[in-house]
Structure 1
Amino acid sequence: MAAPARRLCHIAFHVPAGQPLARDLQRLFGFQPLALREAGGWRQLALRSRHTVFLVNEGAGPGEPLYGLDPHHAVPSATNLCFEVADAGAAARALAARGCNVRVPPVSVRDAQGAATYTVISSPAGTLSLTLLELAGPCGPFLPGFKPVSSAASPGWVSHVDHLTLACIPGSSPTLVRWFHDCLGFQHLPLSPGEDPELGLEVPVKSGRGGLRLTALQTPLGSAVPTLVLAESLPGGVSGQDQVEQFLARHGGPGLQHVGLYTSNILEAAEGVAGAGGQFLNPPEAYYRQPGKEKQILAAGHEPSLLARQGILLDGDKGKFLLQVFTKSLFAEDTFFLELIQRQGATGFGQGNIRALWQSVQEEAARSQEA
């Protein structure tokens, strides 16, 4: 591997001036301002919920925003993943030798908070870029070049990023798997016994036409990097009617479709988000009436009516369960969304929940077209 990733530092978004993402992250999801930089036409605000940091780059300057680049993308988007590496300069050279496009050669930043060096490379996933960051020591609450922002204590609905899901062009997963393995040290994480890394996990919809192909990747034990999930549409579905195809069309190509945020109490977190005005996708009406679903929920130690009230999905067996709930899009373009996830021993992503999410997105799209 050229530049093994040690941990995910932050996820960066690019939005036009006045777009409410930063406000919504605070008001709806309990994120709190961490550090701010205003320079060169950019307003860059880092927000945190425990170990999760989002960097909102607002505006468009004549140069590049610090620790990233301007993708000149047509719609608001999650455009950059920042990973810590041991040596940013060596990483840039090694990746360039592999043919990677080094968009920003190594840059050193130093202020009273500390020192850091970073480089930015293009990924094969559309406009998504990767920042590789080398820290020279403690850097204050965020990174050099940013001024700390004092704020009230966060409700702390979520603790850390559980996984990152990329919406991919059909057939592109094997290429992406090899790229993330060779460049950053990601390895195939089977989601089912005996899974072929070239094929991933196929999750057909109930009609038997179309569905999802999921391929999960993880870094070696000891690193603090979330699972990376590649999602692509299976052939046979109605063209343009599934959430991956809709993302590709509305986003203008592949990219980061959603971020799974871990919470130790999904019911409390969902109630907090909903109470602040956040909106979740509604599962199909029949989801909670499936044979055995009530028994399954009770076995996991939850009350079916409470989960149904917030639209929380539950999957698993043999004492290992997964709970998930999905927000509506954070952008008017109906692209990027967030997921709240709680794991009770489960390590996968729940095929039943995936099918329910699939149908929820379809029904939400149908309602939007009728409105």
Structure 2
Amino acid sequence: MNISGIDHIELYVGDAQQSAYYFGSAFGLEVGGQGGPETGLTGQRSLLMVQGEVRMLLTSGLYADHSATEYVHRHGDGVAVVAMRVEDAAASFEALVRRGAEPISPPKTYSDDTSSVIVAEVAGFGDVIHRLVQRNGEGFLPGAIEMTEREPAEDPMFNKIDHLAICVPARQLQATSEFYQQVYGFAEIFTEYIEVAGQGMNSVVVQSPSGEVTFTLIEPDTQRRAGQIDDFLQWHAGAGVQHVALITDDIVSTVDRLGGRGVRFLTTPAAYYRSLEDRVGAVDAPIGELSRLGILVDRDHWGQLLQIFTESTHVRRTLFIEVIERRGARTFGSGNIKALYEAKEREMVHAPTPMAADPDPEPMEV
């Protein structure tokens, strides 16, 4: 089984059209296709947003018992499907189930005159599932998602999805890592413990043999003060994708453009930049511009990494986006985790107090 990359992610959202408007106006993604009951997608409305190799399917349930509706009720808007490209979806499905993955949907073929796509689904972490995608042709899901005619963006900001950061409950990190190693054939390429302001977290990075699918797994240290990872798990009601990292070729230009589109980023203290070059060496970007935009810089054995994190726009303060530029670096900015933690702490000061999600809330009296 060869997992060659992330084919797309699917977000279950309360209002697909409203979410599409946000990702279009804020991040420049374009509507590449759409589907619903008229195309055979029973009980749902889906919009495909694209830019470069980034493909994000936004799905809303039209009925209370649809899986997307139930997901949003429990977790809020979030990543519900991580689709991975494979050479043979049927064989990959059989292999994963044989190794212990829970089957969700057996292989199914979508086709038209120009394209054929075979998909199958197995369980991943929490309520997130993995869709195995075998493609022949340019169609996304022929017959289910009608592609729209469009001209590719002349100056796209993003190339592809770099990695996903996933929060799991305490004492589930190692089991989740072993699951991806034993079932999916991923390798554990990085481990770290981080302590910030009395909080602590363990982090493990697992990656496919191709190097094109990377999950950063994070669990809170319950022996330390509760913090943002605990908040995510409580607001999200369990394990889930905390952020999606999108690759750009020019982070300074991209962040400047995103800011002009209304995207809000986590702030970074000015003191961070006074010692930046002492910590990472010379940076091929004006420090003043990095400071103005709040861009973080880290270095590993292979080069530098520039990154920044958006504020969450969701009412539960869960999912957010990372913008990342790799200048040779292969790791994930562990030197910036403390800065991110501190920035997220400042954001959470202004957020409502987290409350456990009630699966059956009492109706409001009027």
TM-score scaled to structure 2, two decimals? 0.87
* Aligned residue in 2 for 1:182: 182
1:273 shift after superposition: 0.6
Paired residues for 1:164-179 under 5 Å:
164-179=164-179
1:143 shift after superposition: 2.7
- Matching of residue 322 in structure 1 with residue 305 in structure 2: yes
Q: Structure 2 CA distance, aligned partners of 1:337 and 1:13?
A: 12
Q: Structure 2 CA distance, aligned partners of 1:71 and 1:219?
A: 31
In the alignment, which of 4, 10, 13 is matched to residue 12 of structure 1? 10
Cα distance per residue 1:280-338 (max 9 Å; x no partner): 1112353224xx32555771122122111111111227782211110111322211000
Paired residues for 1:109-258 under 5 Å:
109-123=110-124, 125-135=125-135, 137-140=136-139, 142-145=140-143, 146-154=145-153, 155-190=155-190, 200-205=191-196, 207=197, 209-220=198-209, 223=210, 225-239=212-226, 242-258=227-243
Cα distance per residue 1:209-255 (max 9 Å; x no partner): 332221111112xx36232110112243222xx22111111111001
Q: Structure 1 CA distance, aligned partners of 2:45 and 2:277?
A: 48
Paired residues for 1:299-310 under 5 Å:
299-310=282-293
Q: Structure 1 CA distance, aligned partners of 2:298 and 2:101?
A: 39
Cα distance per residue 1:69-118 (max 9 Å; x no partner): 64721211111011122322223333333343211122222223422221
**Cα pair 1:297 1:314 within 8 Å, conserved:** yes
Q: Structure 1 CA distance, aligned partners of 2:205 and 2:302?
A: 23
Q: Structure 1 CA distance, aligned partners of 2:10 and 2:168?
A: 19
Structure 1: 5+ residue runs without aligned partners? Answer: 191-199
**Cα pair 2:89 2:118 within 8 Å, conserved:** yes
* Aligned residue in 1 for 2:271: 286
Q: Structure 1 CA distance, aligned partners of 2:106 and 2:312?
A: 34
Q: Structure 1 CA distance, aligned partners of 2:94 and 2:16?
A: 38
Letter paired with 1:44: S
Which segment is superposed worse, 342-351 or 43-52? 342-351
Letter paired with 2:51: S
Letter paired with 1:127: D
Which segment is superposed worse, 108-117 or 92-101? 92-101
In the alignment, which of 341, 350, 369 is matched to residue 324 of structure 2? 341
Letter paired with 1:202: Y
1:152 shift after superposition: 4.9
Letter paired with 1:278: V
In the alignment, which of 55, 58, 66 is matched to residue 56 of structure 1? 58
Letter paired with 1:104: S
1:13 shift after superposition: 0.3
Q: Structure 2 CA distance, aligned partners of 1:173 and 1:71?
A: 28
Query: Over the residues paired in the alignment, what is the CA RMSD in angstroms?
Result: 2.3
Q: Structure 1 CA distance, aligned partners of 2:64 and 2:344?
A: 38
% identity of equivalent residues: 27
Which segment is superposed worse, 321-330 or 88-97? 88-97
SS at match of 1:237: coil
May I ask how many residue pairs the two structures share in their alignment? 344
Structure 2: 5+ residue runs without aligned partners? Answer: 354-366
1:351 shift after superposition: 2.8
* Aligned residue in 1 for 2:103: 102
SS at match of 1:79: strand
Letter paired with 2:31: P
Paired residues for 1:19-38 under 5 Å:
20-38=18-36
1:181 shift after superposition: 1.6
**Cα pair 1:328 1:337 within 8 Å, conserved:** yes
Cα distance per residue 1:18-44 (max 9 Å; x no partner): 663211111111111111112223221
**Cα pair 1:4 1:184 within 8 Å, conserved:** no
SS at match of 2:169: coil
